[in-house]
């Protein structure tokens, strides 16, 4: 009788096994989307392994909350050593970095460090599968979808970085302490502010250079400036020379809020202020406070909307 040799057994990779370079690249350029996908794939593996009723998508969506649990699960698979303390530290750091996108420029950029906090888990998954002699089906494969996502997201990432670093004008209203020193120097050198004059809030609608356009107020005055054919033009008014401030709030972050500054001599000029993140309301509220205090009014001025 012919003896049948059993076919060799093949074992699939455990968890979501990807190359380190692939995780870091996609985790960074996709602004966290691939990171979320990585968590989703691992929670899906855990659900299938344990035949549980967990919801992988929501655990991935709330990964700052569930980070410790998936890290602990991977650690238990990797080693018998007690790594709970290290895992807890990683989970805490990941949670804090996940909230850091709400910080002002440029401090929110630390949120891009989250892939590096997840990296020890990626390496642990790699060690688990290396010891088993297996590799993930998409370990280092870079598909057309990966390429397309990278091509789309990379320019967005680049624009965000150069904007937040002050190289390009910010798309939001900025407080004076967020204004790059070179912009303050430019305002002083052109006579738009006096040396040492404090800018309270500032917004530029320019795309390339702060010198092209700016709308702001200081403790003394309100200013709007722009360039035409290389010539600098400006409109300004001291608070005591302002009769009224009319405001037309934007109904979309795609449009600017318009402030009309009415002088006591009957002339007027306009400021454009970004409505992004509702910071135009902060701009208007503080401007109104400065104006009322400077004029010494006892009654609150009316801002028409």
199: β partners = 218
Q: Residue 128's pLDDT band (boundaries 50, 70, 90)? A: very high
Question: Please, are residues 201 and 282 in contact by the beta-carbon 8 Å criterion?
Answer: yes
Question: Please, are residues 181 and 194 in contact by the beta-carbon 8 Å criterion?
Answer: no
Q: What is the pLDDT of residues 244-262, one digit of tens each?
A: 999 999 987 678 999 999 9
56: β partners = none
Q: What is the pLDDT of residues 3-12, one digit of tens each?
A: 544 444 457 8
- Alpha carbon distances (Å) from 48 to 53, 55, 73, 213, 291: 9, 11, 14, 57, 64
- Alpha carbon distances (Å) from 139 to 56, 75, 135: 21, 20, 7
How many residues belong to the chain? Answer: 305
Q: What is the mean pLDDT of residues 260-281?
A: 94
pLDDT value at residue 302: 47
175: β partners = 201
Report whether pLDDT(298) > 50: no
Q: Can you say whether the dihedral through the CA atoms of 293, 295, 297, 302 is positive or negative?
A: negative
Task: Evaluate if pTM is beyond 0.85.
Answer: no
Q: Tell me what percent of the residues of the chain surpass a pLDDT of 90.
A: 55
Q: What is the pLDDT of residues 63-108, one digit of tens each?
A: 999 999 999 999 888 875 657 778 899 999 999 998 887 776 667 7
Q: What is the pLDDT of residues 34-71, one digit of tens each?
A: 999 999 999 999 999 999 999 999 999 999 999 999 99
Report whether pLDDT(30) > 60: yes
* Dihedral, CA of residue 32, residue 36, residue 39 and residue 40, to nearest 10: -160
Report whether pLDDT(303) > 60: no
Q: What is the mean pLDDT of residues 166-192?
A: 86
Distance CA 172, CA 35 (A): 27
3-class secondary structure, 297:
coil
Domains observed in the chain: 20-164 (no CATH), 174-295 (2.30.29.30)
Distance CA 297, CA 290 (A): 11
Question: Please, are residues 274 and 202 in contact by the beta-carbon 8 Å criterion?
Answer: no
Q: What is the mean pLDDT of residues 205-214?
A: 86
Task: Classify strands 221-228 and 256-263 as parallel, antiparallel or unpaired.
Answer: unpaired
CB-based contacts of 155: which residues, under 8 Å, 6+ apart? Answer: none
């Amino acid at each position: 009788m012919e003896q049948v040799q059993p076919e060799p057994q093949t074992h699939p990779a455990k968890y979501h096994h990807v190359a380190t370079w692939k995780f870091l690249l996609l985790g960074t350029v996709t602004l966290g989307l691939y990171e979320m996908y990585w968590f989703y794939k691992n929670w899906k593996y855990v659900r299938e392994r344990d035949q549980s009723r967990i919801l992988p998508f929501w655990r991935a969506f709330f990964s700052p909350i569930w980070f410790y649990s998936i890290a602990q699960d991977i650690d238990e698979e990797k080693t018998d050593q007690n790594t709970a303390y290290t895992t807890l530290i990683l989970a805490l750091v990941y949670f804090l970095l996940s909230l850091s996108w709400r910080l002002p420029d440029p401090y929110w950029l630390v949120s891009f460090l989250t892939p590096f906090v997840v990296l020890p888990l990626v390496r642990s998954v790699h060690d688990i599968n290396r010891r088993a002699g297996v590799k993930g089906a998409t370990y280092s494969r870079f598909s057309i979808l990966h390429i397309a996502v990278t091509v789309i997201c990379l320019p967005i990432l680049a624009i965000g970085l150069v904007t937040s670093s002050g190289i390009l004008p910010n798309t939001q209203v900025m407080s004076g302490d967020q204004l790059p020193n070179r912009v303050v120097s430019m305002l002083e050198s052109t006579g738009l502010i006096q040396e040492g004059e404090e800018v309270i809030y500032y917004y530029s609608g320019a795309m390339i250079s702060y010198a092209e356009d700016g709308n702001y107020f200081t403790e003394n005055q309100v200013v709007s400036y722009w360039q035409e054919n290389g010539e600098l033009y400006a409109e300004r008014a001291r608070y005591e020379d302002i009769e009224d401030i009319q405001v037309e709030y934007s109904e979309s972050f795609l449009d600017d809020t318009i402030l009309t500054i009415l002088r006591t001599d009957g002339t007027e000029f306009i400021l454009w202020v970004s409505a992004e993140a509702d910071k135009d309301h902060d701009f208007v509220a503080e401007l109104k406070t400065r104006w009322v205090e400077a004029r010494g009014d006892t009654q609150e001025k009316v801002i028409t909307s």
